[in-house]
Amino acid sequence: MTKILLLSDIHANLAALEAVLSHAEAGGSFDEVWSLGDAIGYGPQPNECLERVRGLGALAVAGNHEQAALRRISMGEFNPYARSAAQWTASVLTPDSVSYVESMPLKARSNSFMVVHGSPRDPVWEYLSDSRTVSENLPYLDTQHCANGHTHIPAVFKAGESRPVLVRPADGEQVALDSEHCFVNPGSVGQPRDGNPQACYAVLDVENATAVFCRVSYPVEETQSLMEAVGLPSVLIARLSRGF
Ligand code: ZN
């Protein structure tokens, strides 16, 4: 029975990542870990988070923040706060972190899933946040299902013959992946944006075709003080308390 822990948008928030890992481990074992991009950016501990993800042997794809840290996309594409955090991140990454980030593909395939940060059509930037965009992405999906992040909001889009249907899973909810194509987004570990500051993750059960979604409290102030100490923008510090 293959169980896969889905982590996305960790955003260098080690306190949130550790809380998620403890919660997930307490909930049962998992065979694989997938990191759906943006393990870094915004938060204060990029090297520590990369080391942790690497240590888990995760299948890790790159997101826009990894691409920015490697200067593969222009920092000008970011809003001023994200840009300032991206510049700080790029300046503190160790050579080990840089080579790990360089090794991340933009797309991977495993267990009937395509694994991307944004979308199958544009893994770096596109947000899969509405039915129309999901429909437009179906021709680019060469696997049955898709695991993606980037929106920072937990969601499943069920796509088949008709218009894709959005499911917004509640904490603890198990969603059946019972459509021809499902797009599973676990939400963000390190910077949730649905008004709930608790860290997000999901566990896929490949054989039973289900995904369970979870929320976990973590010491937000710990991350916030570290952000303050290194001079990250106050807007980014404040948003963690509100989960927005
Ligand atoms: Zn992100």
Contacts 24+ apart (CB under 8 A), 235-240: 235/81, 236/42, 236/81, 236/85, 239/191, 240/13, 240/191, 240/197
C-beta neighbour count of 165 within 10 angstroms: 13
Q: Is the C-alpha dihedral spanning 86, 91, 97, 98 positive or negative?
A: positive
Distance 178 CA to ligand 1 centre (A): 27
Distance between alpha carbon 63 and the CA centroid of its chain, in Å? 9
Res 1 pLDDT > 80: no
Distance 6 CA to ligand 1 centre (A): 14
Distance 95 CA to ligand 1 centre (A): 23
Distance 10 CA to ligand 1 centre (A): 8
Find the helix or strand (DSSP H, E) in which 69 lies. helix 64-69
* Strands lying side by side in the sheet with 210-216: 59-60, 32-35, 3-7, 199-205, 210-216, 174-176
Distance 193 CA to ligand 1 centre (A): 10
Where does the pLDDT of residue 220 fall: very low under 50, low under 70, confident under 90, or very high at 90 and above?
A: very high
Distance 140 CA to ligand 1 centre (A): 22
Distance 9 CA to ligand 1 centre (A): 5
Distance 16 CA to ligand 1 centre (A): 14
Indicate the pTM of the whole model. 0.97
Distance 125 CA to ligand 1 centre (A): 10
Mean pLDDT of 113-141: 97
With contact defined as beta carbons under 8 Å apart, do 32 and 1 qualify?
Answer: no
- Nearest to 217, CA basis, from 7, 30, 18, 38: 18
Per residue in 45-72, pLDDT (tens digit) is: 999 999 999 999 999 999 999 999 999 9
Q: Percent of the chain at pLDDT above 70?
A: 100
Distance 142 CA to ligand 1 centre (A): 24
